[in-house]
């Protein structure tokens, strides 16, 4: 697995963060997209003693430029014998709490932008 790099989105907290740490512990080259600088720093600090260092990059999947820059970072930081083997589209948001009449159109738009279009954007930049 040392030649098979993974890129995981949504690594500031939760499942994405835990998966990035698990992959690095297993010596899998791991790239972690974080929405915030604090999330990025905390993950770098926590992973500093692992077999395989996690390479973090700021990533806002709602912005084309951010996704393109993140995947450029991944390509530039792959070692000569490594290939991007997997994309884990983990970034997501929950914007609607309760019945439909409690949810605004803007909340629905935000959920679609992150949970649908953000995922599609990452796949297009990575594999298309």
- State how far the Cα of 24 lies from the Cα of 61, in Å rounded to an integer: 23
> What is residue 42's predicted lDDT score, i.e. its pLDDT?
96
> What is residue 128's predicted lDDT score, i.e. its pLDDT?
65
- Per-block average pLDDT, block size 10, for the chain (128 residues)? 91 96 94 97 92 92 97 95 94 85 91 95 86
> What is residue 18's predicted lDDT score, i.e. its pLDDT?
97
> What is residue 52's predicted lDDT score, i.e. its pLDDT?
81
pTM of the complete model: 0.91
- State how far the Cα of 121 lies from the Cα of 128, in Å rounded to an integer: 10
Q: Domain residue spans in the chain?
A: 4-127
DSSP string, 34-95: ESSHHHHHHHHHHHTTSSSPEEEEE--TT-HHHHHHHHHHHHHHS-TT-EEEEEE-------
> What is residue 70's predicted lDDT score, i.e. its pLDDT?
97
CATH match of 4-127 with 1.10.3720.10: no
């Amino acid at each position: 697995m040392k030649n098979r790099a993974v890129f995981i989105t949504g690594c500031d907290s939760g499942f994405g963060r835990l998966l990035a740490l698990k992959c690095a512990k297993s010596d899998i080259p791991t790239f972690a997209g974080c929405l915030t600088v604090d999330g990025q720093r905390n993950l770098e600090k926590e992973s500093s003693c692992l077999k395989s260092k996690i390479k973090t990059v700021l990533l806002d999947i709602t912005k084309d430029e951010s996704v393109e820059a993140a995947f450029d970072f991944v390509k530039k930081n792959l070692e000569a014998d490594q290939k991007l083997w997997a994309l884990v589209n983990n970034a997501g948001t929950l914007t609607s709490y309760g019945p439909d009449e409690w949810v605004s159109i803007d909340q629905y738009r935000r959920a679609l932008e992150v949970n649908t279009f953000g995922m599609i954007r990452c796949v297009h930049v990575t594999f298309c």
